[in-house]
Amino acid sequence: MVHKTADTELSKQDKDIESIADQNLFSGKCVIARRQYNQMLSACRENGYLFKARILRKIGTTYNRQWRFREAVSLYEESEANLQKTEENAERWNEWIELQIEYHYCTMHVTMGIFDEVRKSKIRAIIKAYGTPLQKIRYSFVIYTDLLWKNKWYNLPDESIVVCQSLIKAGEAEGDLLTKLVAQNILALAHLFRNEIVKAREVAFEVLDSLTDTQLGEETIRAYCTISFSYRKENNLEKTREWIGKAYEVADFNKNLTFKYLMDSITGWIHLKEGNFQKAKKFALLSYNGMSRRRYPFLAFSLIPLIAIYT
């Protein structure tokens, strides 16, 4: 039996809690947001399937942002199960699209880039029929991730640059600063993976010039990491040390540990170049141990200084 999507009207308190949790998620405070969303699950009644699906998706996203993909996928699957109990209308399809964008991204990481092509075709068709302009923009991030996996995170094709540039233009057209900055940062990353080092650094500097919102700190540290890696790839020890120092100053490791492990890897390289093998090994192992848990796409960054140390 398919149930109607009309959920029980939320109280003002519940609406306030969800709004605050959404802001915490946006700011990268994933643990706090997750606790608040979990509190809201108790407000779900038996027929509140659409509401429950939305909250489960958001809890999954708190794990997704922390690169805890398996935990995220489990919650996304539970969210989708609740959506299947609702009737097909615009409201339901809107939530389904939001879920699939997150679900697709996580599943690619969990399955090492393998994703059901049938589901992918359905996502494209539903987004075309029901998706908002912002949802269509966000799905382009999934396309970019798909390109990363297909090309083993190395020597990305020209298509990856085109996708990033179209995302930047779309963000500008929608007046969405966050979308634009994220797209610029992944464009910088694409150039870095293509070994276009100077271009990568130029785009990262453009991001820093555009940053005015202190809540967008994750984009700041992302740009700092790209700049640090660009100088490391050029074997510029002085500049690498300068920018990694800035990165450590602004990083909030409670939001995203991935950046800490990336910086630990670069710090290991710095100590290696300085001839301090003990410290080089210490930071390289910190990076490797952290990356090997949930962040395997970046594991190669951790292995580089370890390989150099042991050879």
178 occurs within a structural domain: no
- Average the pLDDT over 236-258 and give the result: 85
Closest CA to 180 of 145, 154, 213, 229: 213
Contact criterion met (CB below 8 Å) for 167 and 183: yes
pLDDT tens column, 196-229: 999 999 999 999 998 876 566 778 888 999 999 9
Q: Which of 131, 163, 181 is the last residue of a domain?
A: 131
> What tokens were used for 144?
């970019």
213 occurs within a structural domain: no
With cut-offs at 50, 70 and 90, classify the pLDDT of residue 251: confident
Tokens 């991204």, located at residue: 105
Question: How many domains does one find in the chain?
Answer: 2
Contact criterion met (CB below 8 Å) for 47 and 53: no
Reduced to 3 states (helix: H, G, I; strand: E, B; else coil), residue 86 is: strand
The share of the chain scoring above pLDDT 70, in percent, equals 89
Q: Which residue has the higher pLDDT, 184 or 136?
A: 184
181 occurs within a structural domain: no
152 occurs within a structural domain: no
287 occurs within a structural domain: yes
Reduced to 3 states (helix: H, G, I; strand: E, B; else coil), residue 3 is: strand
Q: Which of 131, 159, 178 is the last residue of a domain?
A: 131
CATH number, domain containing residue 112: 1.25.40
In this structure, how many other beta carbons lie within 10 angstroms of the beta carbon of residue 300?
A: 14
- Average the pLDDT over 222-239 and give the result: 94
In this structure, how many other beta carbons lie within 10 angstroms of the beta carbon of residue 216?
A: 20
Q: In this structure, what DSSP letter does residue 2 have?
A: P
The share of the chain scoring above pLDDT 90, in percent, equals 41
145 occurs within a structural domain: no
Phi, psi of 3 (to 5 degrees): -95, 155
User: HSE-up of 251 (CA within 13 Å, CB side)?
Assistant: 22
Asked whether residue 140 carries a pLDDT value surpassing 90, the answer given is no
Task: Mark 126-155 as b/e (b = at least 16 C-beta within 10 Å).
Answer: bbeebbeeebebbbbbbbbbbbbbebeeee
Phi, psi of 21 (to 5 degrees): -65, -40
112, burial (CB in 10 Å: exposed 0-12, middle 13-18, buried 19+)? exposed
**Alpha-carbon gap, residue 230 to 266, rounded angstroms:** 11
The mean pLDDT value of the chain amounts to 85
pLDDT tens column, 7-27: 556 677 777 889 999 988 877
Asked whether residue 278 carries a pLDDT value surpassing 70, the answer given is yes
pTM, two decimals, is: 0.76
Structural domain of residue 45, as residue ranges?
1-131
Contact criterion met (CB below 8 Å) for 123 and 100: yes
Spatial neighbors of 258 by CB under 8 A, at least 6 apart, are: 67, 291, 295, 298
Spatial neighbors of 145 by CB under 8 A, at least 6 apart, are: 105, 108
- Average the pLDDT over 140-166 and give the result: 86
171 occurs within a structural domain: no
Q: Which residue has the higher pLDDT, 69 or 106?
A: 69
Q: Which of 115, 131, 147 is the last residue of a domain?
A: 131
